[in-house]
Amino acid sequence: MADRSFVLARAVGIWLTLIAVESIHGVIRRLFLAPQLGDLRARQVSVFTGAALIALVFWFTLGWLRPQPVRRWWTFGLLWLALTLAFEVGGGRATGMSWDRIASDFDLRRGGLLAFGMLVILVAPRFLAQRRGLIREGHRVA
């Protein structure tokens, strides 16, 4: 049980690192990119730069979790996805965004691409763990 608590604490630490990096990324987007491209286009572009940052954060931090069975890497992805969605929605509401404005970030018909970023958070841990050799031996790769 102590090992699971240790791994969970590190997983939350990785997520906090990710949120710190993405928050700085958001500030940079608002200060430098949005004035040049407009808000919607800047948010669209930043989904792709954000996906690259997600991959980099995970690449450099997943080793903290040591080798794990493939199922656990999917669990980390689900955990980080849920925490990030809660952060995005909660942060949006806390800063006065309407539900419609928050939903627009996820709506492809309205130019929202944030669902792509959420997909990256979900699948990247499993695939990057495999590339880094962090899938525990003896467990089949799904």
CA distances 7 to 49, 59, 69, 99, Å, are 28, 17, 13, 34
Res 141: pLDDT? 45
State the burial class of residue 90 (Cβ atoms within 10 Å of its Cβ: 0-12, 13-18, 19+): exposed
The two tokens of residue 24 are 């700085």
Task: Note the pTM of the prediction, 2 decimals.
Answer: 0.92
- Look up tokens 């709506």; give the residue: 107
pLDDT given at position 124: 98
User: What is the structure's pLDDT at 3?
Assistant: 87
Other C-beta atoms lying within 10 Å of the C-beta of residue 89 = 16
- The one-letter code for the residue type at 28 is I
Would the CA dihedral through 134, 136, 137, 142 be positive or negative? Answer: negative
Residues in the chain with pLDDT values less than 70: 1-2, 138-142
* Res 139: pLDDT: 47
